Amino acid sequence: MTDQSAVDIEQIRDYSRAFNADRANLVAANAAVSTGVLAAATDYQGLRALPRDFSVELKQGSITNQERSGRCWMFASLNTLRYELMHRWNLEDFEFSETYLFFWDAIEKSNTYLEHVLETLDEPTDSRIFEVINDGPSDDGGWWQMFAALVNKYGLVPKSAYPESANSRDSDSFKQYLNTKLREFAADLRRRHEAGEALDALREAKREDMATVYRICAIALGEPPAAFDFLARVKDDDDDKDGESDKAGKAEQSKQESGMDERRQIRETGITPMEFYRKYVPVDVNDFVTISNAPMKRTPFNTRYRIRYTANVIEAGDMEFVNVPLDVFKKAAVDQLRAGHPIWFACDCMQFALRGEGVFDRDTVRVDQLFGTEFTFDKADGLEYGDRPSNHAMTLTGVNLDDNGKPNRWKIENSWGKDNGKDGYYVASDAWFDQFVTEIIIRKDMLDEATLKLAQAEPVELDPWQPLTRPCR
Give the integer Cα–Cα distance in Å for 186 and 205.
11
Phi, then psi, of 401 in degrees rounded to 5: -105, 135
Residues 6+ apart with CB under 8 A from 467: 296, 383, 384, 385, 386, 389
DSSP structure string for 52-98: S--SEE----PPPB--BSS-HHHHHHHHHHHHHHHHHHTBS---B-H
How buried is residue 367: exposed, middle or buried, by Cβ count under 10 Å (0-12/13-18/19+)? middle
CB 266 within 8 A of CB 230: yes
Among residues 139, 150, 142, the alpha carbon closest in space to that of 76 is found at: 142
Please give the DSSP secondary-structure letter assigned to residue 225. P
The one-letter amino acid at 399: V
CA distance between the termini of the chain: 50
Residue 324 CB neighbours (<10 A): 25
Distances (CA, A) of 385 to 55, 133, 210, 378, 437: 36, 22, 38, 11, 16
Determine which one of 72, 347, 349, 472 is catalytic.
Answer: 72
Per the annotation, the verdict on 72 as an active-site residue is: yes
Paired strand residues for 395: 344, 413
Determine which one of 134, 414, 420, 472 is catalytic.
Answer: 414
3-state secondary structure of 140: coil
Give the integer Cα–Cα distance in Å for 343 and 396.
5
Per the annotation, the verdict on 111 as an active-site residue is: no
Paired strand residues for 409: 400, 429
Per the annotation, the verdict on 414 as an active-site residue is: yes
Determine which one of 293, 392, 400, 420 is catalytic.
Answer: 392
Among residues 310, 311, 385, 32, the alpha carbon closest in space to that of 150 is found at: 311
Catalytic residues, by residue number, are 72, 392, 414
